[in-house]
Structure 1
C-alpha cells in the first residue's frame, strides 16, 4: 500500500510542476457561450480543432419574455471540408458529438425558424473539446481510481494535450514558413526578371533613339 502511495506522490510532484503552466497557457477545452439571435439572420461560433479530438456540445433556447411560447431554432454544424456533422430544425434544444477527422475550423450556426421571424431569442451553448469532453466518471470506475489519483490522471492527459497542440502548432508554423520562403523566392525572381526587362527595354530604346538621331543628322 505504501508503494502505491509513494508512486502517487511522485506522480503528483512531476505533474503539478506543469499544472501552473497548463492553467496559464493551456488551450481552451470547454466553452460556455450565449448567442443573441437576431430576427432574420444567422449567428455562428467556431472552434479550431486538430484531428482525432472528441467534441461534445449541447444547446438550448432561452426566452424569458413568454416561456409558454418558446421560439424554435435550426442548428447546423459543419466540418472544414464542408461536410454536415449535425443538422436540426424546429427545436428548442439539442446536442451534438463528433470526433474530428481533419484539422481545421469547425463551425456551428444557429438561426430562428421561419415561423419565429421577428421574435428574436437567445441560445445557450456549452461546447466541450478534448479532455473536457471525456467521461471521467466511467474512467474512474473502469480503472478503479479516485481522489488525488484521478485528478493526477486528468493533469497527465492535460499535459499530453498541451504537447500534441505544441507539435500541431509547430507543424503549422513550419508549413507557413515554407510557404513564406517559396513566396519570397518567387517575388525575388519576379523582381530580377522585371529589372532585366527594364534594362533590355532601356537599351533597345537607347539604340532606337540613337538611330533616329543619326537619320536626322542630329548627332
Structure 2
C-alpha cells in the first residue's frame, strides 16, 4: 500500500513535470529548402523574451556541403541576424517588440548538387533559452535547489504568457466591439439612405402621374 508520504511525493513530482511540460518553449524544426526561393519560420513572441537558436545544414550527399543564407527580422522589419554562405550559425537576442518574429533561409549559389537542402533549426525562447549552468555556477546551487529555481522560472514564464494572452484577448475584444459598432452604424446609414431614396422615388412617380393626369 502506498503511504501518504509516497502520495505526496508523487503529487509534487507530477506537478513539477506538468509545469515543466507547459513551460517548454524550445523546439527543433526540420526545414527543407527548395533549390530556389525562400522558406521562413515564424513564432509569435511577447516583449522582453530571450531567444536563442542554432541552425545547421544537413547535406544529403557527404561529398559536398551546400551553403545557405539566413535572415531574422522583428515584427516591425528590424534586421536581427543576417548571414551568407554558411553551413551553420546561431542567433540570440532579447525581444523589444511583441509579435511574429521571422527567420528566413534560402540556398545561395554554392550548391553543386542542386536540389533542395535540409536545415535543422533548434529554436528556444524564454526559460528554455536560459543558461542554467552559468546560473548554477554563479549562485553556487545544484541538485534540488537548481531544479526548484528552474521550476520557479517556468512558473514565471507561464504567468507572463497568460498575462500576454489576456492582453491580446482584450485587444481583440476591443477591435471586435469597434467593428460591430461601425457595422451597426453603416447598416443604419444604409437603411436611412434606402428610405430617403424610396421616398424620393414615390414623390417623383406621384408628380409624373399627376402631370400625365393619370391620378
Query: RMSD value over aligned CA atoms?
Result: 2.0
* Among 67, 71, 74, the residue aligned to 2:69: 74
Q: Which residue of 1 aligns with 2:27?
A: 31
Shift of 1:20: 5.3
Counterpart of 1:188 (choices 184, 187, 195) is 184
- What's the TM-score once normalised by structure 2's chain length? 0.89
Check whether the contact 1:15–1:155 (CA below 8 A) recurs between aligned residues. no
Task: Return closer, same or farther for 1:61/1:17 CA change in 2, 3 Å cut-off.
Answer: closer
Report the secondary structure of 1:126's partner residue: strand
Which residue of the other structure, out of 135, 138, 159, is the alignment partner of 1:139?
135
Q: What displacement does 1:141 show?
A: 1.5
Cα distance, 1:138 vs structure 2: 1.1
Q: Deviations over 1:68-96 (max 9, x none)?
A: 41011111111111111111101111111
1:178 equivalent to 2:174? Answer yes
The superposition leaves residues 31-65 of structure 1 with CA deviations (integer Å, 9 ceiling, x where unpaired) of 10111111112111111110100111111111131
C-alpha separation in 2, matches of 1:27 and 1:195? 52
Distance 1:179 1:120 in 2: 42
Equivalences, count: 206
Does the aligned pair in 1 maintain the 2:45–2:100 contact within 8 Å? yes
1:23 shift after superposition: 4.8
> In structure 2, do the counterparts of structure 1 residues 204 and 64 end up closer, same or farther at CA, with 3 Å as the change threshold?
closer
Find the counterpart in structure 1 of residue 46 from structure 2: 50
Task: From 71, 86, 93, give the equivalent of 1:98.
Answer: 93
What's the TM-score once normalised by structure 1's chain length?
0.87
Q: CA deviation at 1:211?
A: 1.2
Structure 1: any 5+ residue segments left out of the alignment?
Answer: 1-11
- CA distance in structure 2 between the aligned counterparts of 1:47 and 1:31, rounded to whole angstroms: 11
Measure the CA separation in 1 of the matches of 2:43 and 2:71. Answer: 14
Identify unmatched segments of 5+ residues in structure 2.
1-8
Cα distance between partner residues in 2 of 1:134 and 1:29? 11
> Which secondary structure does the structure 1 equivalent of 2:110 belong to?
helix
